[in-house]
Amino acid sequence: MADEATTTPSLRPDAPAGRPSGPGGRGPGGPGGRKFFRRKKVCKFCTEKIDAISYRDVRLLQGFVAERGKIVPRRLTGVCTTHQRRLTRAIKQARNIALLPFAARF
C-alpha cells in the first residue's frame, strides 16, 4: 500500500512511468519510439560567403521559389534572417522584370 502512494499515475496502464508517450504509443518512451534527429540548418550564403544576391541570378533564386511560385520560408531552407530578406527582395525584383514567374501555370 505504501508503494502505491509513491508512484505517479500514468495516462495508460501499459505506458512506462515517467513521461507519457505520444499518440499511438510511438513517443520517445513508447514501443518503437525512435528519436528523430534534426540537423541544424545552416545558411547557404553564409557558408559560401556570398554577400550580394543579384536579381539577375535566376538559377540561384529558383532554388528558393516553390513550384507554385511562392517564396520558400527560411524555416524550410535554413537561410539566415538577413539573407532571407535580401533573397526576398531579389526574387520580387526578378518577378517584376519577368525573369521569374509570379505564379505557376495550370
Could you give the CA distance from residue 100 to residue 55 in angstroms, rounded to a whole number? 9
Beta bridge partners of 71: 65
27-54 confidence digits (pLDDT tens):
555 566 677 777 778 999 999 998 899 9
Q: Give the pLDDT of residue 40.
A: 79
**How many domains does the chain contain in total?**
2
User: If pLDDT is split at 50, 70 and 90, which confidence band does 93 have?
Assistant: very high
The conformation of residue 65, written as its DSSP 8-state character, comes to B
- The domain in which residue 32 lies consists of 1-36
Residues 31 and 53 grouped into a single domain: no
Residues 68 and 28 grouped into a single domain: no
Q: Is 103 among the domain residues?
A: no
The conformation of residue 104, written as its DSSP 8-state character, comes to -
Could you give the CA distance from residue 106 to residue 49 in angstroms, rounded to a whole number? 37
Residues 32 and 5 grouped into a single domain: yes
Residues 89 and 52 grouped into a single domain: yes
**pLDDT at position 8 over 80:** no
pTM of the predicted protein model: 0.63
